[in-house]
Amino acid sequence: MSDEDSSSDGPNWQIPISGTVKLYLVQAKLSAQDISELLSLAERHNLRVSKLRTGEEVTFQLCPSAEQSDVVITNVRMRKRLERHIVWDLAKEKAIVTPDWLRDSVEQRAILPCGDYAALRELHETTVENCPDSDCGSEEGTEHTSSEGLLVASEIEQPTELMKAHYTSRYACLRPCPLICPNQGLVRQLAIIRRSRELEGKDTSALSYERAISVVKAYPHKLTASRLAEVAKLPAIGEKMLSKITEYVDDGEIEESQTIAVSARFQALSVFTTVYGIGATTARALFDVFGLRTLSDAEAHYACHPPSPARAERDSKIRARAPSLGIREALALRAELEEKIPRAEVEAMHAVVMAELAALRPGCLSTIVGGYRRGKAESNDVDIVITHPTLRSGSDQVKGLGELLVNRLYDRGLVTHVMHLSSFRSPDALRTAHWDALEKALIVFVLPPPALRAHRRLDLIFAAPEAYWTAITGWTGSKMFERDLRLYAKERGLKFDSSGITRRRDSKAYIPRSEREVFTVLGLEWLEPEMRNADA
Ligand code: DCT
Ligand code: MG
């Protein structure tokens, strides 16, 4: 999912490896399959993981006894059981974690906070203290409880019980949604109506369909007439929506969806909006005012009605050398930009970007987010969240990186257009607690030869280290999952967005140290990215 092996990060990682973190695996209560998976993760050759607080890179090393280890990995959850394998006093000197700590640390290529994965409640505190994620222990944590009003997540009142995810929940962030659900045919038909409402500017109706789709996506049974009574009670399913669903169950299709799909207007508006820079309002004007019906009509139109020159939204202080993507260029590139990007190509793009970045600023961490992270076989664009792991100097290291990287990629012929480039912003009057800790570069990218050099949309999000995990959560999606995540946070007195979590009453910012902690702070049961597919 993220950068799992060193090859995907390019050849130029220059941070010295300064040590090893020694692991001991308690094999009791683990299946043979789990044991072999965990051993191979721990022994993965040359895998470097970063200490999030210091940026130091280390490797994992298995060791034959608990005494010699830094971290003990176990599925045992009870003191008596654990004492059969490790004496209690020794256990208190180690970080004792569940197997997920190793899995997630390898996936994120970072030593994740052991406290989040403590295997035994009685050993939580000593596990936090003994976690090899920093060399300065808990002192650093206190440092971040600064006068600016920052809190580390371990210091806030954690919700005592996490909300359980279930398909009947009111919030999409609490409804596990697979990529493909048992009622995908119905979802497709509802999505046509939703899209038509959006194209016609009927946003409220579009949102009702979007909500209903996210509820159907989570419904775990194949819909039949006998299940309609239950479906009627689900959130976002009003009378009208139920009649559409009933129609689908009875006839295998929805008449309105069929009519829309074949209508010349829907087809024209749909195709116009596939051009970057043409939104629903412009598309309607092209159809209604100028009488255009096809893409060649649009090309002819823009040839004699030059659009106002495209201006990328840029911070006045930032200079991108690459040109903006105007409508004429977007029309010319439309066929390529419309192609879906297979996973292997997403990974190749990520590897190239990270290799170029490593030459500029060694030691950055990254995760491919968006649809790719949710398991989509093909993506419309590529989204990557990037940070530098050194907490103390990280924001300085990350600051300005978007501009530097985009210009470097342009000089190397890897970027052809820049649609948006923004920099970190200083705290403003409305957001007293924390500054906007993200930079964004929305660009058109081409792989270097000898690859097939198709133009692809690429979004790079540069996060200060304290915003890395919220940026990952915020950019993983899907859209409806994110919408309800923000709503759910709001109802709990918090504000969530990709740049952070703040408590509304005093604007204090929480700094999560893993994505799991983002969920915990918000009071949510963990959902794998593959189960966050709340959109069609
Ligand atoms: N996002 C959001 N709200 C939106 C749009 C996007 O919260 N209105 C978040 C969630 C997903 C992430 O940004 C990336 O968005 P996209 O790239 O548009 O979607 P995707 O899920 O990655 O799917 P694809 O790129 O394949 O269309
Ligand atoms: Mg995407």
DSSP letter string, 14-44: -PPEEEEEEEEE--TT--HHHHHHHHHHHT-
What is the CATH classification number for the domain harbouring 87? 3.40.50.10190
Q: CB-side exposure of 27: number of CA atoms within 13 Å?
A: 9
Tell which of 67, 101, 130 closes a domain.
Answer: 130
Q: How far is the CA of 425 from the centre of ligand 1 (A)?
A: 23
Residues 464 and 384 in one domain: yes
Position with higher pLDDT, 223 vs 30: 223
Which residue type occupies 485? L
Residues 327 and 292 in one domain: no
Q: Is 399 a catalytic residue?
A: no
**Residue 396 counted as domain residue:** yes
Name the average pLDDT for the chain.
87
488-518: burial string, b at 16+ Cβ within 10 Å, e else? bbeebebbbbbbbbbbeeeebbbbbbbbbbb
Q: According to the model, what pLDDT value does residue 378 have?
A: 98
Pairing of strands 365-368, 95-97: unpaired
**Residue 420 counted as domain residue:** yes
- Distance (Å, whole) CA 352 – CA 508: 38
Q: How many domains does the chain have?
A: 3
Tokens of 86: 């490790």
Residues 336 and 458 in one domain: yes
- Distance (Å, whole) CA 52 – CA 114: 12
* CB of 440 sitting under 6 A from ligand 1: no
Q: How far is the CA of 480 from the centre of ligand 1 (A)?
A: 10
Q: Residue range 33-42: average pLDDT?
A: 86
Atom index in ligand 1 nearest the CA of residue 535 equals 21
Q: According to the model, what pLDDT value does residue 35 have?
A: 86
Residues 67 and 104 in one domain: yes
Percent of the chain scoring above 90 in pLDDT = 66
Protein residue closest via CA to atom 4 of ligand 1: 479
* CB of 371 sitting under 6 A from ligand 1: yes
Q: How far is the CA of 177 from the centre of ligand 1 (A)?
A: 16
Confidence grade of residue 430 (pLDDT, cut at 50, 70, 90)? very low
Tell which of 108, 130, 152 closes a domain.
Answer: 130
| Helix pair angle (255-262, 239-251), 10° resolution | 80
Which of 378, 383, 438 most suits a substitution to test ligand 1, by most atoms within 8 Å of the C-beta?
A: 383
**Residue 506 counted as domain residue:** no
Pairing of strands 17-25, 57-62: parallel
Q: Is the pLDDT of residue 4 over 50?
A: no
Tokens of 294: 């096809």
* CB of 498 sitting under 6 A from ligand 1: no
Residues 459 and 347 in one domain: yes
**Residue 81 counted as domain residue:** yes
Q: Residue range 216-237: average pLDDT?
A: 97
Residues 18 and 39 in one domain: yes
* CB of 439 sitting under 6 A from ligand 1: no
Q: Is the pLDDT of residue 305 over 90?
A: no
Q: Residue range 163-183: average pLDDT?
A: 97
Residues 463 and 352 in one domain: yes
Position with higher pLDDT, 452 vs 365: 365
- Element containing residue 83 per DSSP (H, E): helix 79-83
Position with higher pLDDT, 298 vs 429: 298
Confidence grade of residue 319 (pLDDT, cut at 50, 70, 90)? confident
* CB of 532 sitting under 6 A from ligand 1: no
* CB of 479 sitting under 6 A from ligand 1: yes
Residues 342 and 288 in one domain: no
Beta strands in 369-437 (DSSP E): 378-379, 382-387, 415-422
Tell which of 476, 492, 516 closes a domain.
Answer: 476
Give the structural domain span for 429.
315-476
22, 94, 244, 508: which one is catalytic? 244
**Contacts of 514 by beta carbon, 8 Å cutoff, 6+ apart:** 104, 108, 112, 113, 116, 469
Residues 300 and 324 in one domain: no
Q: Residue 512: which of 330, 74, 207, 524 has the closest Cα? A: 524
Beta strands in 123-277 (DSSP E): 150-152
What is the CATH classification number for the domain harbouring 459? 3.30.460.10
Report every protein residue that has its C-beta within 5 angstroms of ion ligand 2: 370-371, 381, 383
Tokens of 14: 């220059």
Q: Is the pLDDT of residue 423 over 80?
A: no
* CB of 274 sitting under 6 A from ligand 1: no
Q: How far is the CA of 494 from the centre of ligand 2 (A)?
A: 26
**Residue 430 counted as domain residue:** yes
Q: Is the pLDDT of residue 366 over 70?
A: yes
Residues 466 and 364 in one domain: yes
Residues 286 and 385 in one domain: no
Q: According to the model, what pLDDT value does residue 252 have?
A: 97
Per this entry, what is the length of the chain?
A: 536
Mean pLDDT: which of 159-168, 433-442, 470-479 is highest? 470-479
Residues 384 and 293 in one domain: no
**Residue 460 counted as domain residue:** yes
**Residue 362 counted as domain residue:** yes
Protein residue closest via CA to atom 3 of ligand 1: 479
Q: According to the model, what pLDDT value does residue 12 have?
A: 24
Q: How far is the CA of 67 from the centre of ligand 2 (A)?
A: 46
Q: Give me the DSSP letters along 126-165.
A: HHHHH-TT-SSTTHHHHHTS-TT-EEEGGGS---SSPBPP
Q: Are 457 and 444 in contact (CB under 8 A)?
A: yes
pTM over 0.85: no
Tell me the per-residue pLDDT of 496-512, one tens digit each, with 9 for 90 and over: 999 999 999 888 888 89
